[in-house]
Chain A
Amino acid sequence: MSARTEKSPKRAGASARFQGPLLRVEELCLHFHASYGVVRAVEGVDFELARGQTVAVLGESGCGKTSLARAILRLLPRNIARYSGKVFLEGTDIMKLSEERFRHDIRWNKISMVSQSAMNSLNPVLKVGYQVAEPLLLNHMGKDQAFERARQVFGIVGVPPAFLDRYAFELSGGMRQRAIIAMALIADPVMVILDEPTSALDVLTQANIMNALKRIKQELNLNFMLITHDIATSSELADEVLCMYAGQLVEHSKAERFYREPLHPYAQKLMASVPTLRVDKKPEFITGQPPSLFNPPEGCRFAPRCHKRFDRCQEEPPLFVHGDETVKCWLYENR
């Protein structure tokens, strides 16, 4: 709100220059070395994200959701075997930037991240307000100004400003998570990656945080990337859905489509496995297990568990465009 209008000249200038999609990812690959071979955590992911859209990345554990986020934000461990592809943010290929430029211009200033269980990694001996203002202090902003901005983002996420002077242990779980979200918002980024932001919280606290995120989304016109395995909760925030399976993107759909009738057989099975409270349907489960990522099967990776498998599935399907959606499945070849 007020925070936005103050800083808007910079933002308005940027968006006036560039009208295309906010984020475009092409052929993104991230492979890790492990003692038993190469783990192909992210393989050939392509997608585009328009400004102001929130995308939910869904999939089972180990399907590469978090690795995708880390690849975009270049938060990589040391055992990298392959890191390739293109990531365009507002038209610039940020993969080509030097590490120093990336750290200075992109990370936290353009894209920030709320990592999984970050609320438990707040420093216990520093005041919360200092930790939230730290990214600005490191960017050579004056102390008073930085704390003023911290007060503002605390207001945005719904934490009383008095909490700036408290320590992490004095805050409840919900308040700590809000402080972490404030930390991600403080440098006024264009995109925030939320990795399981509510999975460690209680149902009521979770709903409160989701309400706060919805409000932030409306007020600041931010792009969120919500990474979660909780499908019901993801529908609280998503405009679009990326569904991943075994390191690959299998479906990219609008939320209305995905939560009603997804296209890819895996997404269909995944949706059928979600227990619902109000609608009377019997949840199903997917037989078998996801393939190992260091020796994935040839052809379509979901074929061994798929109920609609046919001969063609021995070859790997490309991403087919089906209306507004893209889906990696031979069933949609001719349409």
Chain B
Amino acid sequence: MENNTLLSIKNLQTYFELKRWGFLSAGFVKAVDGVSFELAKGESVTIVGESGSGKTTLLRTIMGLAKPTGGEMVFDGRRLNGERGQMGRDTRWLRSQVGFVQQDPYGALPSFMNVRRILREPLIVNKVKKEEQEHRVRESMEEVRLIPADDFLPKFPHMLSGGQQQRLVIARAIILHPMLIAADEPVSMLDASVRVEILELIGRIQRDHNLAVIYVTHDLSSVRYFSQRAFVMYAAKMVEKADVREIVNNPLHPYTQVLLNAIPDPDAQNATRFRDVPPGEPPSLINPPAGCRFHPRCQHIIEGLCDEEEPPEFEPEPHHFVECWLYK
């Protein structure tokens, strides 16, 4: 079990400091506050949350693009704690092991480079031999079905459709043969008819190469076709962790329940009834409410407990973790 773990995160914190005057600090934006989970090799998990819940910051911390302020991160047996001096070497190694699929493919591709150059860039940075580069470029284009490769190699990003651009971003993410793919809302900018295609592509690459995938999204309905496990984030905390089927069919945390309730399936009957959604907005991450962060909007609030003490993680059902006092 031990050597099968790819990524292990314990109590990870990423704070961003607000303006600072001398010794005075205006406070911190606590974007990720005490998140723990483990990811096995070849496993695919989804992180679901609203915007501002810290899911992208968590992903950026894992990739070494944001510096953790606390907690522990072990990737493939190497501890990455952001110590000075060690940081540079570790980060370079980490980035060759994690492929990043961005949200907006057009924004993520340099408009002045053609496909060949875009795909070669990571190979050049990581000092892959020149003779091997062309072969690697074609191999990864084959992988994402940008075929025939010769037609695509001289093209520039604006000549490709949205779906093809996203395939190119995926090709670039896997070209260094990473162990983990971090995909930040990879399909939210694409049309419905292309989304499924891209998700299936990522799923196939994951199975073929036994890659681990962290898929970040706000769209719960696409999750069940894609991942084994899902984590739900709310206001920088991971409130529920379970199997995707468990999350969808048997959500335990009140936040997950209202989130699922708010998602429509296409059905003409929807127009005749109102959805049951809590009013209000997610809290500020500079000054989050005491106790459970969802308590001001929660229907099942236990007075004197939920608004005072932060709930620890409970396991009311096997492999189903939830941070809520209802399950103490």
Q: A-side interface residues toward B, CB under 8 Å? A: 54, 60-61, 172, 174, 202-208, 210-211, 214-215, 229-239, 254-256, 258-260, 269-271, 273-279, 282-286, 289
How far apart are A120's CB and chain B's nearest CB, in angstroms?
A: 14
Contact B266 A274 (CB under 8 A): yes
Chain A contacts of B162 at CB under 8 A?
61
Contact A204 B193 (CB under 8 A): no
* Cα of A259 to Cα of B281 in the assembled complex, Å: 31
Contact B192 A277 (CB under 8 A): no
Which residues of B247-264 have CB atoms within 8 Å of chain A's CB atoms?
248, 258-264
Which residues of B218-276 have CB atoms within 8 Å of chain A's CB atoms?
218-222, 224-225, 248, 258-268, 270-271, 274-275
Q: Which of A174, A236, A282, A286 contacts B270 (CB 8 A)?
A: A236
Contact A270 B281 (CB under 8 A): no
Q: Is B136 an interface residue (CB 8 A)?
A: no
**Given that A174-B281, A208-B277, A285-B193 are contacting pairs, would A203 and B200 also be in contact in the complex, using a CB cutoff of 8 Å?**
no
Contact A235 B275 (CB under 8 A): no
Contact A203 B262 (CB under 8 A): yes
Contact A202 B218 (CB under 8 A): yes
Contact B192 A274 (CB under 8 A): yes
- Besides A232-B221, A236-B275, A277-B260, 20 more A-B contacts (Cβ < 8 Å) are A60-B192, A61-B162, A61-B191, A203-B262, A207-B262, A210-B275, A232-B263, A236-B270, A238-B271, A254-B268, A255-B268, A255-B271, A259-B267, A270-B192, A275-B221, A276-B265, A277-B263, A283-B196, A285-B200, A289-B161
Closest 6 A/B residue pairs (Cβ): A207-B262, A255-B268, A285-B197, A202-B50, A286-B193, A277-B221
* Cα of A204 to Cα of B232 in the assembled complex, Å: 14
How far apart are A208's CB and chain B's nearest CB, in angstroms?
A: 5
Chain A contacts of B225 at CB under 8 A?
275, 282-283
**Given that A211-B275, A235-B268, A258-B268 are contacting pairs, would A277 and B224 also be in contact in the complex, using a CB cutoff of 8 Å?**
yes
Q: B-side interface residues toward A, CB under 8 Å? A: 50-51, 161-163, 191-197, 200, 218-222, 224-225, 248, 258-268, 270-271, 274-275, 277-279, 281-282
Contact B268 A238 (CB under 8 A): yes
* Cα of A269 to Cα of B194 in the assembled complex, Å: 11
* Cα of A237 to Cα of B275 in the assembled complex, Å: 12
Q: What are 12 A-B contacts with C-beta separation under 8 Å?
A: A172-B281, A202-B282, A203-B259, A204-B262, A207-B264, A214-B274, A238-B271, A255-B268, A256-B268, A284-B196, A285-B195, A285-B196
Contact B265 A206 (CB under 8 A): no
Contact B277 A211 (CB under 8 A): yes
**Given that A61-B191, A233-B264 are contacting pairs, would A275 and B222 also be in contact in the complex, using a CB cutoff of 8 Å?**
yes
* Cα of A273 to Cα of B260 in the assembled complex, Å: 20
* Cα of A204 to Cα of B280 in the assembled complex, Å: 9
Q: Which of A205, A254, A278, A285 contacts B265 (CB 8 A)?
A: A278
* Cα of A258 to Cα of B271 in the assembled complex, Å: 13
Chain B contacts of A61 at CB under 8 A?
162, 191
Contact A231 B51 (CB under 8 A): no
Chain B contacts of A207 at CB under 8 A?
261-262, 264, 275, 277
